[in-house]
């Protein structure tokens, strides 16, 4: 892949590959040429390249969103850094788009979501300027105006990403303080110190979802019926009602199941509960109702 002028060298380039195990038609990857760990945050150059690919798809009337699984609890399947692209729009995008926020320079939350979801709306002027440099071939860096536009785009994406990362660390601090004060043990108590999170990017927003677990595990009802318990953990040796690995696609609107029975159990447990189990709690003042309505199309 020929790089736009993002300040990166040829050695820092990328491969664009169709996904061998595609979830949907058109599922593709942006992979670093040199090895980088999937547990490392996205760099400014990687953010720009991701956004330019989204713009290129949009210019061909094929809207996409991008996602990135970071850390051991994020659901990442490969250690080599890669960003994935899926056609369509995540369910949360329509809520984020309609959200009334006082300060668009700061991240915001959607009250209906029962898990921590840090969202940053991208500057509309920067987005409009960036759209103008996407051509049928690829963005050209030959003109000074294009270089300035890419610089502005890189600054906006980098600052937006850093702002949602800051919010994630605040969420983690609050969680740790709460656990220390209450003596609570969580599924992530023995997790590595490096944080895990999922990133979803559209042309209008960057989303970051901090993770507390890689897999949702729902116990069976202790009465012996084939129903879910209100408890997450199962006793040693017991078969869970539901056990499912979740990555960014879960927050982007897709949960991958292996059978019709597993699908029915996902419907029974509810999308909101499942994402809450693997994510982190939102701020206490948020209203935790309505998430299953947002993800209703999944079932």
Least confident segment among 59-68, 71-80, 137-146, 212-221: 137-146
Instruction: Give me the sign of the Cα torsion angle 30, 31, 33, 36.
Output: positive
Look at residue 186 and tell me whether its pLDDT is greater than 60: no
Spacing of C-alpha 5 from chain mean position: 26
DSSP 8-class letter at 285:
T
Q: Which of 263, 284, 266 lies closest to 111 in space, CA to CA?
A: 284
How much is the pLDDT for 233? 59
Contact 278, 211 (CB under 8 A): yes
Angle at 141 (CA atoms; ends 135, 144), nearest 5 degrees: 115
C-alpha 244/C-alpha 230 separation (Å) is: 16
Tell me the pairing of strands 242-245 and 28-32: unpaired
Residues 6-17: tens digit of each pLDDT:
555 545 699 999
Tell me the pairing of strands 205-210 and 242-245: unpaired
Least confident segment among 76-90, 110-124, 178-192: 178-192
Least confident segment among 124-138, 171-185, 223-237: 223-237
Least confident segment among 70-74, 132-136, 152-156: 132-136
**Residue that the structure tokens 């593709």 belong to:** 28
Least confident segment among 71-75, 192-196, 278-282: 192-196
CB neighbour class for 56 (10 Å; exposed up to 12, middle 13-18, buried from 19)? middle
Residues 15-70: tens digit of each pLDDT:
999 988 888 899 999 999 999 999 999 999 999 999 999 999 999 999 999 999 99
CB neighbour class for 88 (10 Å; exposed up to 12, middle 13-18, buried from 19)? middle
How much is the pLDDT for 286? 39
Residue 271 CA neighbour count, 13 Å, CB half: 23
In this prediction, residues 277-282 reach a mean pLDDT of 91
pTM: 0.85
């Amino acid at each position: 892949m020929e790089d736009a002028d993002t300040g990166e060298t040829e050695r820092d380039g990328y491969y664009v590959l169709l996904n061998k195990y595609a979830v949907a038609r058109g599922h593709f990857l942006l992979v670093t040429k040199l090895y980088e760990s999937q547990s490392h945050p996205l760099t400014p150059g990687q953010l720009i390249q991701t956004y330019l690919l989204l713009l290129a798809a949009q210019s061909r009337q094929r809207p996409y969103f991008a996602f990135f699984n970071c850390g051991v609890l994020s659901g990442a399947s490969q250690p080599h850094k890669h960003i994935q692209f899926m056609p369509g729009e995540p369910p949360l995008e329509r809520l984020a788009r309609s959200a009334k926020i006082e300060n668009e320079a700061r991240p915001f939350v959607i009250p209906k979501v029962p898990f921590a979801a840090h969202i940053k709306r991208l500057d509309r002027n920067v987005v409009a300027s960036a759209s103008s440099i996407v051509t049928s071939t690829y963005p050209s860096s030959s003109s000074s105006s294009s270089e300035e536009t890419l610089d502005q785009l890189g600054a906006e994406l980098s600052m937006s990403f850093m702002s949602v990362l800051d919010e994630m660390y605040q969420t983690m601090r609050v969680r740790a303080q709460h656990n220390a004060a209450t003596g609570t043990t969580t599924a992530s108590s023995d997790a590595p110190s490096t944080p895990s999170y999922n990133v979803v990017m559209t042309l209008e927003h960057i989303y970051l979802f901090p993770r507390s677990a890689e897999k949702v595990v729902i116990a069976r009802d202790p009465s012996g019926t084939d129903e879910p318990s209100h408890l997450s953990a199962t006793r040693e040796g017991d078969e869970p009602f539901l056990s499912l690995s979740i990555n960014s696609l879960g927050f982007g609107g897709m949960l991958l199941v292996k059978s019709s029975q597993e699908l029915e159990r996902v419907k029974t447990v509810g999308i909101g509960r499942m994402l809450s189990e693997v994510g982190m709690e939102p701020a206490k003042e948020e209203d935790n109702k309505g998430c299953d309505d947002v993800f209703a199309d999944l079932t």
